[in-house]
Amino acid sequence: MKFLDAEFVQGFIRMGDDGWQQGWHERNGGNLSYRVKPEEVELVKENFEPKEWKPIGTSVPQLAGEYFLVTGSGKFFRNLIIKPEDSMCMIELDDKGENYRIVWGLVNGGRPTSELPSHLMNHEVKKIATNGKYRVIYHAHTTNIIALTFVLPLKDEVFTRELWEMATECPVVFPSGIGVVPWMVPGGRDIAVATSKLMKDYDLAIWAHHGMFAAGEDFDLTFGLMHTAEKSAEILVKALSMSPNKLQTITAQNFRDLAKDFNVSLPEKFLFEK
């Protein structure tokens, strides 16, 4: 099978284009990765042209020998749909999870996203936590979330509660809440470690003044998670622009009632009285 004809490759490209259409990926902003299933690797293996091994910049032993689709560093999401072979690549990790090599893509040169350590460390956390179910990690520059990081306290409890209150489906879509990483230099090990710690408890993490990081089982669920949180943030931005105070909102008891009817568990640390 031709590489670009594979369903998982088409799903990857579509998700990247969806993010571009939302306005979340100016220039070369944002990145996306997918942990490829063994049977999917077999489908496209005939297209591989392995390059030299290079260090990841961190160690992810639980991902040793696995393959990932990733966007390229400095590449534009708007080009994923028109020249994917130049905008993305598939990489293979070595038997220790310390090095990677490109086996397909980036035909005009380049390397995987500069956020590769963050992606792989979070893939490892989610693989362990979900018994292998989670396969997608997504980072986008979500406009309204970024705006809120300048005016709300950078606390998990504050962001979770505010976003839950803005859209009734939010506590159902991300019942475990949302974590917040204070501003850090992107692309290095420090921000990767900080994010992976949060991802043990959450599927969503906010990078202050930068964007969001999301994890999920597949492309639809992960994009939907990011989309839901960003839409809730947009409602909050609009509400705050009209008035700094809410006349009414969803209460802590309302959330408890919702959790019971929708059969979800909402941590009490988010259900404080305001």
pLDDT computed for residue 192 by the predictor: 86
> Per-residue confidence of the chain (274 residues) as pLDDT tens digits?
999 999 999 999 999 999 999 999 999 999 999 999 999 999 999 999 999 999 999 999 999 999 999 999 999 999 999 999 999 999 999 999 999 999 999 999 999 999 999 999 999 999 999 999 999 999 999 999 999 999 999 999 999 999 999 999 999 999 999 999 999 998 778 888 899 999 999 999 999 999 999 999 999 999 999 999 999 999 999 999 999 999 999 999 999 999 999 999 999 999 998 8
Note the pLDDT of residue 188.
Answer: 75
Q: Is 234 a catalytic residue?
A: no
- Residue 127: the pLDDT is 97
- For residue 191, the model assigns a pLDDT of 87
- pLDDT given at position 216: 98
Asked if residues 10 and 88 have their Cβ atoms less than 8 Å apart, the reply is no
CB 117 within 8 A of CB 232: no
Q: What is the pLDDT of residue 189?
A: 81
Residue 13 CA to residue 36 CA, distance in Å, equals: 14
Instruction: Identify which of 211, 245, 215 has the alpha carbon closest to the alpha carbon of residue 230.
Output: 211
Query: Which of 18, 25, 43 shows the shortest CA–CA distance to 221?
Result: 18
Give the pLDDT confidence score for residue 186 in this predicted structure.
85
Instruction: Give the helix/strand (H/E) hosting 231.
Output: helix 219-242
Q: Which of 115, 162, 230, 234 is catalytic?
A: 115
Q: In whole angstroms, what is the distance from residue 195 CA to residue 114 CA?
A: 15
φ and ψ at residue 160, rounded to 5 degrees: -60, -50
Q: Which two tokens stand for residue 63?
A: 């991902």
